[in-house]
Amino acid sequence: MLTNGCGIVFVDGEKWKAQRKFGIMTLRSLGMGRGSLDDIMNYEFEVLCHFLSSGGSQENVMTLFRKAVTNITCSVLMGKRYDYDDPILNNITENIRPSKTVVMYSPILRFIPPFRWTYKKIVKSIEQVTGVIRNISAMHKQNFDLSNKRDFVDHFIAEMNKGGEYFTVNILTSKDEQLHHYTRDLLVAAINTTTAAFGWCVVSLLRHPECQEKIWQEVYTVIGDETPSCKHQENMPYTRSFIQEIHRHRSIATLNLPHRTVRSVRLCGYDIPKDTPVLTNIWRVHNDPNVWKNPHEFRPDRHLDSNGNFVPSNNVIPFACGYRRCLGEQIAKAEIFLFIVNIVKRFHLVVDQVTGPPTLEKDPKGAVNTPAPFRFSVRARKNRQQKL
């Protein structure tokens, strides 16, 4: 109802297949998983580190993280980045947050106060962001060059110009509505989950200074004075194990988005009829005591073998699994890795003397598992011998 059947998240069938195939191929051509996005990300982290070193960590640091992630995502999708005080950036970051409301699961409540006002707020937030996308896509059309497709929007316009099925929608909706909602879906998915991951990385570095020291040793040994790159991951097993443990221990998306069965199936003794809404319990997978010893403990070492090599796990599924897994998984993984190594390469993260270590409480306003507001201090690193 909110997107007129457009976008990528809440569509299925042949339209979803065509749009997903396009999304995967386009993001790959833009550098997903190839390292060509490293420069965009490293530049944004330079800006973020400047704010942190100038006292930004004494503000709501999650707001800074959200702006950094938004700029990276906007650069990939729309070829735009904004200054941190730009009202357009603030518009996106404030209106891109998914709503935590029962209306999303029982839409009939939208007619009943006070849920009616909640529904109107959701509609207004969607319109705010799609308005920004609409203006940017209009400028892209004016300056479109088929031989120089710069971002996701350019690639989508190219498909629209071909008259490709599912790229221009029916006469009941705007011709460009699929482009606008698809782009917005990608913004929502990328910004909220990756921002939460950044937050939990910092919380865990502050709560576990021994982890911070081990990552610093790898950064110093493997990266040294080089500019961080995703190619460094292969030689940094502890950093990779730390990231995998963040995904497991904090379960940023505790439940996956609702999907439906396309046929009647029998699973583990249960009969599930066709068209039944199904939600995956990601938190349960990440905390299954049959797989994880003491699952509530934060232990990155659990993802290393006896030789200290990183062991990827099929039981850590922050990006879901199967056909509906996250389109931007590779970009998100690169962002989180480069975020950690850039932060640790430049700073000691120090627990705030007034508030103490951050808690593991989540922000009650968030629809995803995001840390509650916290404060910390940073000290610039000088050499390898400097202790935490």
CATH number of the domain where residue 129 is located: 1.10.630.10
pLDDT value, residue 170: 53
pLDDT bracket for residue 56 (50, 70, 90): low
Output 196 or 104, whichever has higher pLDDT. Answer: 196
% of the chain exceeding 90 in pLDDT: 70
297 inside domain: no
308 inside domain: no
Rounded average pLDDT over 103-129? 87
- Is residue 341 within 8 Å of residue 239, measured between CB atoms? yes
Segment 150-187, tens digit of pLDDT: 999 999 999 999 887 888 765 445 679 999 999 999 99
103 inside domain: yes
pLDDT bracket for residue 366 (50, 70, 90): confident
The pairing of strands 265-267 and 270-272 is antiparallel
Segment 216-263, tens digit of pLDDT: 999 999 999 999 999 999 999 999 999 999 999 999 999 888 888 989
Alpha carbon 233 to chain centroid distance? Answer: 19
Q: Which structural domain range is residue 339 located in?
A: 13-228+330-380
pLDDT bracket for residue 319 (50, 70, 90): very high
pLDDT value, residue 277: 87
The pairing of strands 277-278 and 259-260 is antiparallel
pLDDT value, residue 387: 43
For the chain, the straight-line distance linking the first and the last C-alpha, in angstroms and rounded, comes to 52
pLDDT bracket for residue 345 (50, 70, 90): very high
b/e sequence 79-91, b meaning 16+ C-beta within 10 Å: ebbbebeeeebeb
β-bridge mates for residue 379, sequence order? 348
109 inside domain: yes
Residue type, 266: R
- The shares of helix, strand and coil residues in the chain, as percent rounded to the nearest 5, are 55, 5, 40
Q: Is the pLDDT of residue 193 over 90?
A: yes
Q: Is the pLDDT of residue 388 over 50?
A: no
- Is residue 252 within 8 Å of residue 190, measured between CB atoms? no
pLDDT value, residue 83: 96
- Is residue 188 within 8 Å of residue 125, measured between CB atoms? no
CB-based contacts of 131, cutoff 8 Å, min separation 6: none
188 inside domain: yes
Query: Residue 84: helix, strand or coil by DSSP?
Result: coil
- Alpha-carbon Rg for the chain, nearest whole angstrom, is 21
pLDDT value, residue 1: 77
Q: Is the pLDDT of residue 70 over 50?
A: yes
Least confident segment among 164-168, 216-220, 317-321, 384-388:
384-388
CB-based contacts of 384, cutoff 8 Å, min separation 6: 220
pLDDT value, residue 257: 83
Rounded average pLDDT over 288-307? 97
pLDDT value, residue 362: 92
136 inside domain: yes
**Hey, which bits of 177-320 come out as E strands?**
259-260, 265-267, 270-272, 277-278
Q: What are the CA-CA distances from residue 151 to residues 78, 185, 238, 370, 374 (Å)?
A: 6, 16, 34, 29, 35
% of the chain exceeding 70 in pLDDT: 94
pLDDT value, residue 31: 75
pLDDT value, residue 211: 97
Please state, as a whole number, how many other Cβ atoms lie within 10 Å of the Cβ of residue 346.
18
Q: What does pLDDT average to over the chain?
A: 90
The whole model's pTM is what? 0.92
20 inside domain: yes
Q: How wide is the angle at C-alpha 328 spanned by C-alphas 364 and 21, nearest 5°?
A: 130
Residue 239: how many CA atoms within 13 Å on its side-chain side? 28
Alpha carbon 247 to chain centroid distance? Answer: 12
Rounded average pLDDT over 121-139? 93
pLDDT value, residue 59: 57
Report the number of distinct structural domains present in the chain: 1
179 inside domain: yes
pLDDT value, residue 29: 86
pLDDT value, residue 37: 86
Ranges 43-57, 98-112, 286-300, 367-381, most confident? 286-300
